[in-house]
């Protein structure tokens, strides 16, 4: 008796392709929103798709984007990191103080590269230490992630305030601006860094044992524990990675603004990283880095589009916040109907 070869239907092939590319229904929704917004703003303002506008977005969105990756990792474990922005500012402040106090004014080009490299290592070390503190409180002491990171957010901000006296730290060497202002092959360097970190995060979550353990912990901590996964160690590593990503954000901000300040992003960045995670449908144990990447671009498009359209109009920032809120509500509604359809 001969068996007929299994013929895969077009729908099955398409499903297999989406699964291999980690594209889900949320991804398709976000891609649809992306194209609708691009067409809408391009139709209203022809300058929206100009090279200058696109380049400007490429310089702006990586800061919030990398912070969102830091937030996503902790949400996947069933936790949260409210101290991402405070870590970013503290890393920038300490690295900035090093350059102000140690770098000689007559340093040569080679020496300047060396000193900037040390400053960047200091910033990364700050991210590592802050991550260890959060990981220890949450993983080993058992403090609720919201309370733990709320406390460390206040603590890290207090250190930055004590060091700066609430003032903005400026006067950095001009060589530092290369990271935040220059391009490579016509692409802004901050955007290249963001794309590389997005790829590394995706690889870490879906191609490594640590990524599996992290998602397993978020989906079912008890099952994770009984599967011989050391939850405490996984939480420690996760918050350390979150701290390092936050520190990298601090480096980009410091290079772009040529300053370090305790108040940078304090009123919006943490809330926006949570908003992006919600928009990308990131929950405990389940999340897609591609969705986070697209969500960040969507928010940047909204911000830039309304800024260009409503420039000079009083209260224009209200429309940007209003649009973010409406978009989030629409995504909730669509997700609800999609979920109900799947159940039926």
Rounded (10°) angle between helices 269-279 and 316-343? 30
**Rounded CA gap, 24 and 222, in Å?**
27
Domain that holds residue 159: 60-302
Q: Is residue 260 included in any domain, yes or no?
A: yes
Q: Which run of H or of E encompasses 283?
A: none
Q: What is the pTM of this model?
A: 0.86
The whole-angstrom distance between residue 84's C-alpha and the CA centroid of its chain comes to: 9
Q: Across residues 278-298, what is the average pLDDT?
A: 88
Q: Is residue 11 included in any domain, yes or no?
A: no
For residue range 235-282, list pLDDT tens digits in order: 999 999 999 999 999 999 988 888 888 888 777 788 888 888 888 888
Question: Which is more confident, 288 or 326?
Answer: 288
Q: Is residue 193 included in any domain, yes or no?
A: yes
Tokens, residue 129: 């230490």
Q: What is the pLDDT of residue 17?
A: 46
Q: Is residue 313 included in any domain, yes or no?
A: no
Residue 261 in 3-state DSSP?
coil
Cα–Cα distances in Å, from 257 out to 63, 66, 80, 260, 289? 12, 17, 28, 8, 28
Q: Is residue 277 included in any domain, yes or no?
A: yes
Q: Is residue 52 included in any domain, yes or no?
A: no
**Rounded CA gap, 266 and 67, in Å?**
12
Q: What is the pLDDT of residue 247?
A: 94
Burial class of residue 33 in the structure, from the number of CB atoms within 10 Å of its CB (0-12 exposed, 13-18 middle, 19+ buried)? buried
Tokens, residue 280: 């990308």
Q: Is residue 285 included in any domain, yes or no?
A: yes
Q: What is the pLDDT of residue 314?
A: 56
For residue range 220-236, list pLDDT tens digits in order: 888 888 888 889 999 99
Report the domain count for the chain.
1
For residue range 110-146, list pLDDT tens digits in order: 878 888 889 899 999 999 999 999 999 999 999 999 9
Greatest mean pLDDT among 100-104, 121-125, 286-290, 316-320 lies in 121-125
Closest CA to 115 of 132, 95, 134: 95
Tokens, residue 232: 């405490």
Query: Is the separation of the CB atoms in 70 and 84 below 8 Å?
Result: yes
For residue 1, name the pLDDT band (cuts at 50, 70, 90): very low
Q: Is residue 99 included in any domain, yes or no?
A: yes
In the chain, % of residues over pLDDT 90 = 34
Residue 121 in 3-state DSSP?
helix
For residue 102, name the pLDDT band (cuts at 50, 70, 90): confident
């Amino acid at each position: 008796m001969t068996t007929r070869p299994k013929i895969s239907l077009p729908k099955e092939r398409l499903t297999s392709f989406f699964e291999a590319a980690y594209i889900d229904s949320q991804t398709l929704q976000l891609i649809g929103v992306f194209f609708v917004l691009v067409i809408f703003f391009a139709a209203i303002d022809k300058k929206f798709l100009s090279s200058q506008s696109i380049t400007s977005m490429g310089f702006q969105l990586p800061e919030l984007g990398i912070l969102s990756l830091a937030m996503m990792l902790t949400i996947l474990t069933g936790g949260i990191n409210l101290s991402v922005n405070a870590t970013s500012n503290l890393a920038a402040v300490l690295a900035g103080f090093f350059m102000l106090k140690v770098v000689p004014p007559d340093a040569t080009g080679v020496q300047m590269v060396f000193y900037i490299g040390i400053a960047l290592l200091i910033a990364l070390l700050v991210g590592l230490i802050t991550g260890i503190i959060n990981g220890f409180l949450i993983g080993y002491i058992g403090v609720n992630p919201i309370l733990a990171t709320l406390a460390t957010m206040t603590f890290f901000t207090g250190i930055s305030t004590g060091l700066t006296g609430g003032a903005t730290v400026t006067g950095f060497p001009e060589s530092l601006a290369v990271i935040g202002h220059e391009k490579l092959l016509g692409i802004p360097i901050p955007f290249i860094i963001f794309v590389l970190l997005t790829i590394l995060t995706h690889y870490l979550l879906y191609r490594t044992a640590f990524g599996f353990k992290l998602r397993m912990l978020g989906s079912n901590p008890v099952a994770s524990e009984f599967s011989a996964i050391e939850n405490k160690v996984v939480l420690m590593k996760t918050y350390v990675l979150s701290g390092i990503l936050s520190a990298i954000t601090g480096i980009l901000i410091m290079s772009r603004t040529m300053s370090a300040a305790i108040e940078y992003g304090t009123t919006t960045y943490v809330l926006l990283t949570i908003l992006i995670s919600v928009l990308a449908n990131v929950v405990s144990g389940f999340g897609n880095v591609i969705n986070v990447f697209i969500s960040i671009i969507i928010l940047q498009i909204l911000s830039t589009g309304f800024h260009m359209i409503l420039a000079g109009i009083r209260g224009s920032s209200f429309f940007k916040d209003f649009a973010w809120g409406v978009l989030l509500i629409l995504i909730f509604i669509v997700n609800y109907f999609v979920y109900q359809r799947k159940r039926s």
